[in-house]
Amino acid sequence: MAALESIQSQSTLQDSIFSTSTVIAICVFFTLLCACIIIGHLLEENRWANESITALLLGLVAGLVVLLVTKFQSSRILVFNEDLFFLYLLPPIIFNAGFQVKKKKFFKNFTTILLFGIVGTVISFCLISLGAYLLFKRFGFTTLTLQDFLAIGAILSATDSVCTLQVLNQDETPFLYSVVFGEGVVNDATSIVLFNAVQSLDVSDIGALTALKLLGTFLYLFFTSTALGIAAGLLSAYIIKTLYFGRHSTDRECALMMLMAYLSYMLAELMGLSGILTVFFSGIVMSHYTWHNVTENSRITTKHAFATMSFIAETFIFLYVGMDALDIDKWKASNASPGTSVGVSSLLFALVLIGRAAFVFPIANITNCFKKREGTKIEFRNQFIMWWAGLMRGAVTIALSYSQFADSSGSTSTQDSSLMITSTIIVVLFSTVVFGSITKPLISALLLQHAKSNTSDATDIPSLEDLRLLFLEPGEPSGEGNSQPARKGSSFRLLMTHPTSTVHYLWRKFDDKFMRPVFGGRGFVPFVPGSPSGAAEAAEHTP
């Protein structure tokens, strides 16, 4: 009898610690994650499907099952949680993207990325906001304010950088990947900055000064967030290089890299900066310096650990979005007919199409005017892919929509607010499934059939050797048997004729002379006795 009472008391204690609904939700999502991994493996060679679409469709099916089980009643498992998305799911995805990105290709196209991500997003924001303000009155939207219409522009200007990772291949199309994904990261940060600025905007007093304030705020957030991410990456590199963590435990090296990356994101959010930009540049810096300072075991572990966490978070997000799309409360609160929902969603997506086309093609052609060599210009088919791949909208769009049109409990105050949320969800589902599934075949048809890409590294400059010779100091031999002094080229002239290559060359000289001796990196790996990398270094330097 005493034993039975003890078991009952333990059962009661367990019920008080663990919520049954929470345990059920975790079990459901973990089961769906396993199913997505298996199905994704089976569809690996399929040109039309990818993990994001699979997870989204599986989430829709699971949401429908939950509705049938609960007899079309509300369920906690279907509620979108902004904190879960922004604090736990997004950071590992963006960090791993920065950690794995091909830095040379990314920074080579950095000017184009900034033009698309900043100027392009502002253009899209203005057109979408203006179009919504002028057209939505015809649908009977009477409770939406000017601030709501500006928020709609910021919400729908955010591209889905997560889905871009799966529909574009960094090895097959490095130029498109670096530009579209890089633009997506900057675009998300710009959209969130615009959205936050709209929240604090006094709509009764809008003028040129307001636009200048918005520009100043964005520039401050962009450069401060970037500097914080670089500082976090350099600090981790210096600590690991100086203290030789691998001498005692590779686990400490891996843990320190993960924690400092996440800490940079949280500090950025705490300071009101862009955590997305911070953790992205933190990943770039860590891959350039910190990763080369750790032991060989830690390099392998961190590379796969970061990729695994990113993969799980990506899959979880699309499952989450798919299940949330069938949250019955939102659809009941909107009280809209299917025709109205389709009409509003179509109008929103048409504004997205127009808003993106309004900056992709003009900016691409403007940048072409400043490129003298034909091989470095962005051809029309590349411009079309950049427009097409950037039309996908994702979890950032839904999270911002909830933040604008729902209260802290997830409920909405008006029918118009509910209709905006449901219409945004329709736009996200349609753009992800349709454009996400067609992007790969479209790239194969337009680009991969051509034997030679128009943006290959080989076409950067006519002769890398000629550029190197121009930089030789007076009296330095050219290395081709000619001992006559070589003339040192003017840095300004070289910058004008070969801007990207010149900046890269000067950065490499600065990096090798000042940065790597302090922060480590390739060629400056510290000797750690007993570690695999230390043994390799010792063998390499043994005469």
Per-residue pLDDT tens digits for 107-164: 888 888 889 988 999 999 999 999 998 888 776 777 788 888 889 999 999 888 777 7
Asked if residue 297 has pLDDT above 80, the reply is yes
DSSP summary character for residue 205: S
- Which domain does 426 fall in, by range? 81-449
For residue range 2-22, list pLDDT tens digits in order. Answer: 444 554 445 454 555 567 777
Q: Whose CA is closest to 59, among 312, 419, 396, 316? A: 316
What pLDDT sits at residue 246? 65
Asked if residue 535 has pLDDT above 60, the reply is no
Is 46 within a domain? no
CB atoms within 10 A of CB 109: 22
Is 20 within a domain? no
Average confidence (pLDDT) over 284-298: 89
Contact in structure between 315 and 37 (CB atoms under 8 Å) = yes
Is 543 within a domain? no
The CATH number for 227's domain is: 1.20.1530.20
Is 182 within a domain? yes
Average confidence (pLDDT) over 27-47: 84
Is 268 within a domain? yes
Is 492 within a domain? no
DSSP summary character for residue 447: I
Cα 137 vs. chain centroid, distance in angstroms?
34
CA atoms within 13 A on the CB side of 245: 25
Rounded to whole angstroms, how far apart are CA atoms 369 and 515?
35
Rounded to whole angstroms, how far apart are CA atoms 317 and 92?
12
pLDDT band at 76 (very low <50, low <70, confident <90, very high): low
78: phi then psi, degrees, rounded to nearest 5: -100, 10
What pLDDT sits at residue 459? 40
Average confidence (pLDDT) over 492-507: 60
Residues whose CB is less than 8 angstroms from the CB of residue 155 and which lie 6 or more positions away in sequence, other chains included:
191, 195, 397, 400, 401, 404, 424
Is 100 within a domain? yes
In total, the chain counts a number of residues equal to 543
Residues whose CB is less than 8 angstroms from the CB of residue 265 and which lie 6 or more positions away in sequence, other chains included:
91, 95, 275, 278, 279, 282
Number of domains in the chain: 1
Is 357 within a domain? yes
Rounded to whole angstroms, how far apart are CA atoms 337 and 182?
39
Cα 313–Cα 317–Cα 323 angle in degrees, nearest 5: 140
Between residues 410 and 334, which one has the greater pLDDT? Answer: 334
Specify the range with the lowest mean pLDDT, choosing from 25-29, 281-285, 376-380, 475-479: 475-479
Q: Which two tokens stand for residue 8?
A: 């009952």
For residue range 449-486, list pLDDT tens digits in order. Answer: 554 444 444 344 444 444 444 444 444 454 444 544 44
pLDDT band at 494 (very low <50, low <70, confident <90, very high): low
What pLDDT sits at residue 47? 67
What pLDDT sits at residue 259? 94
